[in-house]
Amino acid sequence: VQLLQSGGGVLQRGGSLRLSCAASGFTFTNYPMTWVRQAPGKGLEWVSGISAGGGYTYYADSVKGRFTVSKDTSKNTLYLQMDSLRAEDTAIYYCTKGLPATHGPIGAFEIWGQGTVVTVSS
Amino acid sequence: SYVLTQPPSVSVAPGQTVSLTCGGHNIGTKSVHWYQQKPGQAPVLVIYDDNDRPSGITERFSGSNSGNTATLTISRVEAGDEADYYCQVWDSTGGHFVFGTGTEVAVL
């Protein structure tokens, strides 16, 4: 089981970026996925989640309306489209494979990608 | 919004047992997950659904959850356990996931 991330970079405030997370070693359509970020020197912050089939999406208040999560099942790839970026979006972004849930729509974050750095300059 | 409170740091000697707490209102009614993060690395799930261990995680890690406090216990602590530990729940009221503030474990 592996999650391979790509798409990070440095960009200016107000810009857009799309992160990718290529999944392998498991049936992509059977598991929910999420994005988690970590600002420099800070703790973990959940960003977004998507159901196994892709029909339901969830967002943190801090990114709602600016970020869009999606799954391309033909490519076994998870995406995070980030628009109207702000300096406070600067962080390492991790994609994760979720477990089926006992409470809520997505269970624990079982597998994590290697992370990709997003830097937004003001 | 739902808040999870963890002590910022704890120190423990090798071979001893350490208990890391995660406080939240009625957290005992939620499923709590715990993650270990070593410097420069992605987090790793060590306990899910209060007290289940993922495949490959040592039995030295165990969890409990009741009332307003969830606890991650590390037995027979080793130098390799030195890391930050985060608890996490799903906040059904807010419709989002919440991470605790994290506890840094230092092995003396």
Residue A34 bridge partners (DSSP): A49, A96
Task: Give the pLDDT confidence of A71-85 residue by residue, as tens digits.
Answer: 999 999 999 999 999
Is A45's CB within 8 Å of B42's CB? Answer: no
Taking the C-alpha atoms of residue A79 and residue A69, their distance in angstroms, rounded to an integer, is 6
Residues of A with CB under 8 A from a CB of B: 34, 36, 43-46, 49, 58-61, 94, 99, 101-115
Query: With 80 as the cut, is the pLDDT of residue B93 above it?
Result: yes
Instruction: Note the Cα A10 to chain centre separation in Å.
Output: 17
Q: Give chain B positions within 8 Å (CB) of A36.
A: 43, 99
Taking the C-alpha atoms of residue A16 and residue A3, their distance in angstroms, rounded to an integer, is 23
Task: Give the pLDDT confidence of A1-53 residue by residue, as tens digits.
Answer: 999 999 999 999 999 999 999 999 999 999 999 999 999 999 999 999 999 99
Residue B18 bridge partners (DSSP): B74
Task: Give the pLDDT confidence of B58-67 residue by residue, as tens digits.
Answer: 999 999 999 9
Place of tokens 């165990």: B62
Taking the C-alpha atoms of residue B14 and residue B108, their distance in angstroms, rounded to an integer, is 7
| Residue A60 CB contacts under 8 Å (≥ 6 apart), including other chains | A45, A46, A47, A48, B96
**Confidence tier at B94 by pLDDT (50, 70, 90):** confident
Taking the C-alpha atoms of residue B7 and residue B3, their distance in angstroms, rounded to an integer, is 13
Is A107's CB within 8 Å of B49's CB? Answer: yes
